[in-house]
Amino acid sequence: MLSLSRSTSEIINQSGIAFGTSGARGLVEQFTDEVCAAFTVAFISAMKRSFTFERIALGLDRRPSSPGMAAACTSAAKAMGLAVDDYGVLPTPALALKAMADGVPCIMITGSHIPFDRNGIKFYRPDGEISKEDEAAILQADAAMPSLAAVERNEVSDAANQAYAERFATWFPGEPLTGWRVGLYQHSAAGRDLNAHILETLGAEVVTLGRSDAFVPVDTEAVSEEDQAKGRAWAKQHHLHALLSTDGDGDRPLVGDETGSWQRGDIVGLLCARALNIEALAVPVSCNTVIEQCGAFKKVARTRIGSPYVLAGMAALSADFNRVAGFEANGGFLLGSTLEEDKRQLAALPTRDALLPALTLMVMAAEKAVPLSQLFAELPARYTASDRLTEFPTEKSRELLAEWETSPATLVQVLGLEASVAHIDTTDGLRATLDNGDIVHLRPSGNAPELRCYCESDEQAKASSLVQKCLRALATLPL
């Protein structure tokens, strides 16, 4: 029996864990049983203000620390008199889909793509991902902590995985990927086996690649040079039509074409939204400006980076449009409206999903009998690149961006830019549009002590070179 006498707010505030752009994130050692239990109690207490429920759903990724955290959350929920539906290791969108269908809140134990020494917890209301207001309610819950029985998990159910697979089998009927060879980079992704099953159900021949017993923190926004080389080699060796991978918890896609080139997530999202006849989009300010330039959407709302902000943007758009969606630069696609086509229905899933955009593009290319790369080549020539400096103190990042907002000329000088600043956007971080049309966007990560750099230009090589130039200059600054 673990007796906890302190309140949830006291335990959480002293843990050092904070909400980032996607859930509560921190070092593994900070997520003690007591802290995980406190977050669970605070979350349930906050949800009970608006919803009535007797159960809660639970899932986790493959990080070694995740099962222990899941056990502590399970024990806390039980101590509050709730049953726990444990769906084991699965993609975050699969857990969210099942919980929403059942009308219950859910908790996902995952650190997504962040470094191995960290982990996190994502929370979902019965009607979808929590808002920033919900985050504040969790932190301020100040609920009394119950005494916890033995910290252990329930028996695992496969029902959520089955429902997620059925979603795509119904929306993409008739094995549309027959004749396609798809390389599935599995690494340690939560949905690695489920993704293979779904691809095979759609008719694809699946070549499994890069499976790992050790956790691999794949970042779909900053694909490593090693993974880029792997993609090209795999495509050539196995004569692939496409490559697919995800981040650790399966809510961000990594899509490669027949040459093995990994495509940018916001371009994947754009093509998916256009194929689904989406009318209005909410996307973070960091996404490629080709979204507006392509002319496919009646309205594009730009938000801060992070799914809660995208969700808020989608909610506002839903008042005026019937087919609303959002996506992020990492490729995670949020479907805000239920879609119907030929008596088939695709239920709204207002949280990041990796498979819908990836499968939509593959099926579209297969039906048109064109290589996947052709879909990307048809867009206006705007290219983005991004990378990050790790172990770059967040406070230092903020100081620099505040200085450069008031003195753009200093930004140009420090980074060695070859054009002056025409416009500054501070929606999230500092996004400088240069007078030659290039864009440099700097932003402290919300999940780790990192400084991210996003650049946009009219050639991929120029965008990539601009990112590296900026990061080299930033790396020389005294910390």
| Element of type H or E holding 316 | helix 307-317
Average pLDDT over residues 174-187: 97
User: For 44-82, what is each residue's pLDDT tens digit?
Assistant: 999 999 999 999 999 999 999 999 999 999 999 999 999
Quote the pLDDT of residue 152. 87
Q: Which sign, positive or negative, has the C-alpha torsion 231, 233, 236, 240?
A: negative
Is residue 302 predicted with pLDDT exceeding 60?
Answer: yes
Token digits of residue 398: 């903020």
Instruction: Give the position of tokens 């920033």.
Output: 132
Residues that are catalytic: 112
Is residue 190 predicted with pLDDT exceeding 80?
Answer: yes
Token digits of residue 76: 């806390």
Is residue 92 predicted with pLDDT exceeding 50?
Answer: yes
Average pLDDT over residues 407-425: 95
Q: How many residues does the chain have?
A: 479
Quote the pLDDT of residue 3. 47
Average pLDDT over residues 3-18: 85
Quote the pLDDT of residue 23. 87
CA 396 to chain centre: 26
| Element of type H or E holding 69 | helix 66-79
Token digits of residue 306: 């992070």
Residue 203 binned pLDDT confidence (cut-offs 50, 70, 90): very high
Strands (E), 247-353: 253-256, 280-284, 299-303, 324-327, 333-335, 339-341, 344-346, 349-353
Residue 368 binned pLDDT confidence (cut-offs 50, 70, 90): very high
3-class state of residue 96 by DSSP: helix
Is residue 464 predicted with pLDDT exceeding 50?
Answer: yes
User: For 321-331, what is each residue's pLDDT tens digit?
Assistant: 999 999 999 99
Nearest CA among 286, 11, 25, 282 for reference residue 135:
25
Token digits of residue 74: 């399970």
pLDDT, averaged across the chain:
94
Strands (E), 363-477: 383-390, 421-425, 430-434, 439-444, 450-457
Quote the pLDDT of residue 407. 96
Quote the pLDDT of residue 5. 66
Residue 90 CA to residue 283 CA, distance in Å, equals 26
Quote the pLDDT of residue 370. 97
Is residue 2 predicted with pLDDT exceeding 70?
Answer: no
Most confident region among 130-134, 419-423, 441-445 by mean pLDDT:
419-423
| Runs of H (alpha helix) within 369-448 | 372-377, 394-406, 408-415
Residue 474 binned pLDDT confidence (cut-offs 50, 70, 90): very high
Domains annotated for the chain, with CATH where assigned, are 8-157 (3.40.120.10), 176-377 (3.40.120.10), 383-475 (3.30.310.50)
Higher pLDDT, 308 or 339: 339
User: For 106-153, what is each residue's pLDDT tens digit?
Assistant: 999 998 877 778 999 999 999 999 988 999 999 999 898 988 878 889
First to last CA, the chain: 46
Please work out, in degrees rounded to the nearest 5, the angle formed at the alpha carbon of residue 416 by the alpha carbons of 410 and 422.
Answer: 60
Is residue 89 predicted with pLDDT exceeding 60?
Answer: yes
Quote the pLDDT of residue 151. 85
Token digits of residue 465: 């070179």
Quote the pLDDT of residue 447. 64
Is residue 1 predicted with pLDDT exceeding 50?
Answer: no
Is residue 448 predicted with pLDDT exceeding 90?
Answer: no
Average pLDDT over residues 270-291: 96
Nearest CA among 388, 302, 335, 355 for reference residue 115:
388
Is residue 21 predicted with pLDDT exceeding 80?
Answer: no
Average pLDDT over residues 385-396: 90
Q: What is the DSSP string of 147-205?
A: PB-------B--HHHHHHHHHHHHHS-S-TTTT-EEEEE-TT-TTHHHHHHHHHHTTPE
